[in-house]
C-alpha cells in the first residue's frame, strides 16, 4: 500500500495524502519540497514523531508521489493557491503549517495571502526568500541545457551518484543512509517521467532571476512563526533565512547543524524544536 493512502479531489485532480493522529487537535499540515521528493520521503519520520499527540496531514504535492499534476501553472502562487484549495477540500478552516524548500515557500505564500487559515507557521529552508538562485547564471544555463533529466536518470541507475546527490542536500554526508539512497532512486525513476521540478522551474526561473521573492511581503504574516535554517544549506543559505526573520512580526529563528533537509538529516534535533514551538503556541485547554 502506498504511504499516502487517502485521496481527495482538488481542482479536479486526484491528490493522495496521509492523515494520522487525534482529531481533537489543531491539524499540522506538512508540505514537502520539489524534485526528488514526496510525502513519505520528507515527512515520514515527522508523522511518526508527532502522531501520538497531534493530527498530522501530509499530501503528496501535485506531480509527486501518488498525486496527479497541477491543473494550472505550477509556479509558487499556483502551488500556494492549491494548498488553500487542499485545506478547503479537507474541510480545514485553520491549521498549523510547515513546509520545506518549495513547500516552505508555499507555506509562506498561504500565510501572506490567506492569514486566517494559518495558526502557526514553520518554514524550513524555504524557497521564496531571494531574487536569484545561488550561482544563478550557471544554474539557469544548466537547466536550459537539460541537466535535470540527466540527473534523474543518473540517480535512478547509480547508487553512487544517488548518494552523491543526497550528500549535496545534507550538511554531513556521513549521515546519508542506504535506505535514503534507495528511496531517492525510486523517486528518481518516477520523476524521470513526471519531471515536476522541470515544470516548476520553467514557471519560476528565467535568465534574470526568480519569479517569486516573497521578502517584501513577509511583514504581512500574522501567524507566530518558527523559521528553521540549515547552517550548511547549499540551496537556501542560512543568512537569507536569518534576514527574513527581521521582516516577520512574531518570529523565532533557529539554525540547525544540517543541510537543506533537517527533518531527514537530524530528526533528533528537528522534532523537539518543532514540538516545543507548537506546544508553546497552543493554549493549555487545547493540549492533549
Q: How confident is the model at residue 288 (pLDDT cuts 50, 70, 90)?
A: very low
**pLDDT beyond 80 at 30:** yes
Number of domains in the chain: 1
CA distance 130 to 141: 18
Cβ neighbours for 177, distance < 8 A, ≥ 6 positions apart = none
Angstrom distances, CA of residue 233 to CA of 57, 169, 261, 277: 26, 7, 8, 22
**What mean pLDDT comes out for the span 115-127?**
98
Q: Where are the alpha helices (DSSP H) in the chain?
A: 39-50, 76-89, 102-113, 136-144, 147-157, 159-169, 178-194, 196-204, 238-245, 262-265, 267-280
Tell me the pLDDT band of 251, cut-offs 50, 70 and 90.
very high
How far is the CA of 149 from the CAs of 142, 158, 166, in angstroms?
11, 14, 16
pLDDT band at 282 (very low <50, low <70, confident <90, very high): confident
Of the candidates 108, 114, 285, which has an alpha carbon nearest to the alpha carbon of residue 212?
A: 108
Average pLDDT, the chain: 95
Residue 163: inside a domain: no
Query: What would the pLDDT profile of 44-99 be if each residue is shown by its tens digit?
Result: 999 999 999 999 999 999 999 999 999 989 999 999 999 999 999 999 999 999 99
Evaluate whether residue 279 is within a structural domain: yes
Structural domain of residue 236, as residue ranges? 6-133+212-286
Query: Among residues of the chain, what percentage have pLDDT more than 70?
Result: 98
Residue 233 has pLDDT above 70, yes or no: yes
pLDDT for 283: 67
CA dihedral for 126, 127, 131, 136, sign (positive or negative): positive
* 179 burial level (CB within 10 Å; 0-12, 13-18, 19+): exposed
Phi, psi (degrees; rounded to nearest 5) at 153: -65, -45
pLDDT bin (cut points 50, 70, 90) of residue 281 is confident
Q: Is residue 157 part of a domain?
A: no
Average pLDDT over every residue of 243-268: 97
Q: Give residue 229's pLDDT.
A: 98
* CATH code, domain with 25: 3.40.50.1820
Does residue 152 lie in a domain region?
no
What secondary structure letter does DSSP report for 65? Answer: T
Q: Is residue 247 part of a domain?
A: yes
Residue 285 has pLDDT above 80, yes or no: no
Q: What is the CA radius of gyration of the chain?
A: 18
Is 188 a domain residue? no
Q: What is the C-alpha separation between 135 and 213, in angstroms, rounded?
A: 16
In-domain check, residue 255 = yes
116 falls within a domain: yes
Span 254-275, average pLDDT: 98
Q: Which of 154, 81, 131 is nearest to 243 (CA)?
A: 131
Q: Give the residue among 58, 215, 29 at the shortest CA–CA distance from 132.
A: 215
Separation of alpha carbons 95 and 117, rounded Å: 6
Give the confidence band of 284 by pLDDT, cuts at 50, 70, 90. Answer: low
Q: What is the pLDDT of residues 207-231, one digit of tens each?
A: 999 999 999 999 999 999 999 999 9
Query: What is this structure's pTM?
Result: 0.96
Place of cell 528565467: 206
Amino acid at each position: 500500500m502506498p504511504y499516502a493512502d487517502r485521496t481527495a479531489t482538488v481542482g479536479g485532480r486526484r491528490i493522495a495524502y496521509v492523515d494520522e493522529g487525534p482529531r481533537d487537535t489543531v491539524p499540522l499540515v506538512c508540505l514537502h519540497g520539489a524534485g526528488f521528493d514526496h510525502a513519505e520521503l520528507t515527512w515520514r519520520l515527522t508523522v511518526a514523531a508527532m502522531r501520538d499527540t497531534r493530527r498530522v496531514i501530509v499530501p503528496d504535492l501535485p506531480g509527486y508521489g501518488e498525486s496527479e499534476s497541477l491543473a494550472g501553472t505550477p509556479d509558487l502562487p499556483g502551488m500556494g493557491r492549491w494548498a488553500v484549495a487542499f485545506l478547503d477540500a479537507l474541510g480545514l478552516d485553520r491549521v498549523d503549517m510547515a513546509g520545506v524548500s518549495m513547500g516552505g515557500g508555499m507555506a509562506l505564500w498561504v500565510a501572506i495571502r490567506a492569514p486566517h487559515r494559518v495558526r502557526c507557521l514553520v518554514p524550513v529552508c524555504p524557497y521564496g526568500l531571494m531574487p536569484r538562485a545561488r550561482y544563478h547564471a550557471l544554474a539557469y544555463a544548466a537547466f536550459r541545457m537539460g541537466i535535470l533529466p540527466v540527473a534523474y536518470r543518473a540517480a535512478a541507475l547509480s547508487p553512487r551518484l544517488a548518494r552523491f546527490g543526497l550528500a549535496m542536500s545534507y550538511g554531513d554526508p556521513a549521515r546519508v543512509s542506504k535506505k535514503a539512497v534507495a528511496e531517492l532512486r525510486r523517486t528518481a525513476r518516477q520523476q524521470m517521467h513526471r519531471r515536476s521540478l522541470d515544470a516548476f522551474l520553467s514557471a519560476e526561473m528565467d535568465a534574470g532571476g526568480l519569479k517569486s521573492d516573497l521578502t517584501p511581503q513577509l511583514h504581512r504574516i500574522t501567524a507566530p512563526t518558527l523559521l528553521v535554517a540549515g547552517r550548511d544549506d547549499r540551496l537556501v543559505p542560512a543568512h537569507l533565512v536569518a534576514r527574513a526573520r527581521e521582516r516577520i512580526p512574531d518570529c523565532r529563528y533557529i539554525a540547525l547543524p544540517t543541510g537543506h533537509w533537517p527533518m531527514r538529516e537530524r530528526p533528533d534535533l528537528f522534532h523537539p524544536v518543532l514540538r516545543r514551538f507548537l506546544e508553546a503556541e497552543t493554549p493549555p485547554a487545547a493540549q492533549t
